[in-house]
Chain A
Amino acid sequence: MSRIANCFNDLKEKNRKGLIPFIVAGDPQPGFTLPLMNALVDGGADLIELGVPFSDPMADGPVIQRGSERALVHDTSLRDVISMVVEFRKENKQTPVILMGYLNPVEVMGYEEFAKAASEAGVDGALIVDLPPEEAGELKEIMVKYDIDLIFLISPTTNVERQKYISKIASGFLYYVSLKGVTGSNRLDTGSVEESVTTIKQHSDLPVGVGFGIRDAESAANVAKVCDAVVIGSPIVELVGNLSDDSETSMKSITTYLSTMRQAIDVI
């Protein structure tokens, strides 16, 4: 069984909700990423979403855009990100890692080469934001071959017919985008999230993670009530952007922040 499936089974058995923090690899400097990933695990991360920086992050709000820009100052490439996972896996064998990014860096590297390198590094899933299922046929086949889950988005504008179509091609979990907007937006409407997740669950057995627009412990708890896992991105990237160094104290502050999210979703 894949690390992602294992993780969600485990959560289910323990009757817990998953916590998925997001950081941009290489932000604010490449050396920060490994200690940050460990800090997130210490803070209660069940899975880690590692952003692959891109020059034109069309689906991201200003906070994650700036994270991407900080990482690109140091030319953090897709290959670099994969190497960071190699380092992470030397110590951590169980926390699933999902690469999240845009298609062009993957196209330039080549689908097969990307999948092979990512799989060898211990990457468990990939979420390519600008790759809808209609365009994903070739990459999907290759990802299956290398045992990497290709994760797809479902959004408030996705009708039921498309939800079914997406559920069929997706694996690992389904990522529900909680609002019409970009990452970091503040238009979260928990009621409509609940309604959509309920519909999605009617025709898919995959776990549903919800992301975009979760800003604090309260919104995390509210969303966690109606799904299997919450993704927290912009608030963490904001904190990371303000770190002055990668000292133990700095990393502790990230761990502490995530712990409050952990507690919030554990008490629901």
Chain B
Amino acid sequence: MLNNSLPNESLPDENGHFGPYGGRFVAETLMGPLQELTEAYTRYLKDPEFLAELDDELHHYVGRPSPLYHARRWSEIMGGAQIYLKREDLNHTGAHKINNTVGQALLAKRMGKTRIIAETGAGQHGVATATVAARLGLECVVYMGSEDIKRQSTNVFRMKLLGATVVPVESGSKTLKDALNEAMRDWVTNIDDTFYIIGTVAGPHPYPVMVRDFQTVIGREAKQQCLQQAGRLPDALIACVGGGSNAIGLFYPFIEDEDVAIYGVEAGGDGLETGHHAAPLNAGRPGVLHGNRTYLMEDDNGQIIETHSISAGLDYPGVGPEHSWLKDSGRAKYVAINDDEALQAFHDLTKIEGIMPALESSHALAYATKLAPKMKKDEIIIVNLSGRGDKDIQTVATLEGITL
């Protein structure tokens, strides 16, 4: 269960700070509601009935536990460490996002909220939210940048089929960050009956810690499965980092296992040197956006700048504050993988293992192909396969000049 196998870390503090990062940087109107949410969350995190219901949903609705799969053929070809894939792609709706939306939606119900809102970039979190809203009979409104709506029309239709209203966002860069702004504006306007389900470990406290806690099911399972299958802990963990929820979900239960190396992989886009990327931990600097202090992509005047990645799910100028903390403290290392490297890994895993990964997850896989050959054959890497690649087929085809 959620509350009894987490590391006894003292972070964040009661106001949501991870060292200098995190916190609550929002207009006054949201301070009361955020406090109320924190109290409800803290209470239900210790409520056996709530936890039992969550476990039951994760098991029967999401399909957990997800397998830990030893990719033998791929490992053999790389000629180094043994690679195990944590198969979040096999979850209902095809990604890790649903672990969090199930948790937050159950909380929304407990709090008596009847309306759910969410932001989405690629549409994965939007779909996962619309899915649980349908399951629980709650009204659902999803904000999505008008640019993203054009790029991800299948997911838009999927959300509509699920009964959600998709609202195009025309402000700013018309992408994920603007969708988040717009969802916040909706929340502040409809605070009495509305629950805002944020899709990653960003936003004001308690979101980074709450989303982390709901995603740690990934790491808790992986740890147990690795011990069962290999008889020991892994030597390294790799996960892609957009906002950082699948990554922290895998990493967190291993934070105190100091012999386990931790690698977060950001989107290098066209290459860090080009400036066209989405790698704030590698090439940004600390600032305040969307309610927390964290590493950001910003210009010299403090304006947030547009990001680029082949994978819409990594195309975000910020990152969860806990990752900023893990970077500064040195516990985790953050690297970047470029678009072309991710695309290569997408093809490799598909052809070699018969598993088509999401382009987001392909960033983590691509880093494994760099790391594994440098490690011994009896060493173990766990890669978080955060989602399946079906949603990206159109993108890949277009890039290769193929019309479907």
Contact = CB atoms under 8 A, between A and B. Distances in A.
A158 B296 CA distance: 30
A132 interface: yes
A103 B30 CA distance: 16
Nearest to A72: B303
Contacts of A104: 287-289, 296, 298, 302-304
Contacts of A107: 286-288, 293, 302
Interface in A49-88: 54-59, 61-62, 65, 69, 72, 75, 77-79
B184 interface: yes
Given A72-B303, A130-B26, A57 B181 contact: yes
Question: Which of A54, A59, A159 gathers most chain B CB within 10 Å?
Answer: A59
Given A155-B27, A157-B31, A103 B188 contact: no
A180 interface: yes
B172 A157 contact: no
Given A104-B289, A105-B303, A130 B23 contact: no
Interface residues of A, number: 45
Contacts of A177: 27-29
Interface string A173-187: 000010011100101
A103 B296 CA distance: 13
A156 interface: yes
Contacts of A155: 27-29, 32
Main secondary structure on B side of the interface with A = mixed
Given A55-B172, A182-B188, A158 B31 contact: yes
Nearest to A166: B28
A153 B300 contact: no
Question: Which of B288, B304, B305 gathers most chain A CB within 10 Å?
Answer: B288
Nearest to B29: A155
Question: Which of A65, A109, A156 gathers most chain B CB within 10 Å?
Answer: A65
Given A72-B303, A108-B300, A109-B302, A157 B27 contact: no
A168 interface: no
A215 to B, nearest CB: 16
Contacts of A159: 32
A248 interface: no
Interface in B250-302: 286-291, 293, 296, 298, 300-302
Nearest to B173: A55
B24 A135 contact: yes
B13 to A, nearest CB: 11
Contacts of B350: none
B171 interface: yes
Interface string A113-149: 0000000000000000111101100000000000000
Contacts of A130: 25-27, 288, 291
B374 to A, nearest CB: 38
Interface in B309-352: none
A56 B304 contact: yes
A157 B191 contact: yes
Contacts of B300: 108
A225 B366 CA distance: 65
A162 interface: yes
B154 interface: no
A154 B77 CA distance: 62
A217 interface: no
B29 A157 contact: yes
A56 B28 contact: no
Question: Which of A104, A129, A158 gathers most chain B CB within 10 Å?
Answer: A104
B316 to A, nearest CB: 12
Interface in B5-30: 15, 23-30
Contacts of A103: 25, 288
A62 B191 CA distance: 19
A58 B184 contact: yes
B79 interface: no
25 contacts: A54-B302, A55-B172, A56-B177, A56-B178, A56-B181, A56-B304, A59-B185, A62-B171, A75-B301, A105-B301, A130-B288, A131-B25, A134-B24, A135-B24, A154-B28, A155-B28, A157-B29, A157-B30, A157-B32, A157-B191, A158-B31, A177-B28, A180-B190, A181-B189, A187-B189
Interface of A: 54-59, 61-62, 65, 69, 72, 75, 77-79, 102-109, 129-132, 134-135, 152-159, 162, 166, 177, 180-182, 185, 187
Given A78-B301, A104-B304, A177-B28, 13 more contacts: A56-B178, A57-B181, A58-B185, A59-B185, A104-B298, A104-B302, A107-B288, A107-B293, A130-B25, A155-B32, A156-B29, A157-B29, A166-B28
Interface of B: 15, 23-33, 171-172, 177-178, 181, 184-185, 188-192, 286-291, 293, 296, 298, 300-305
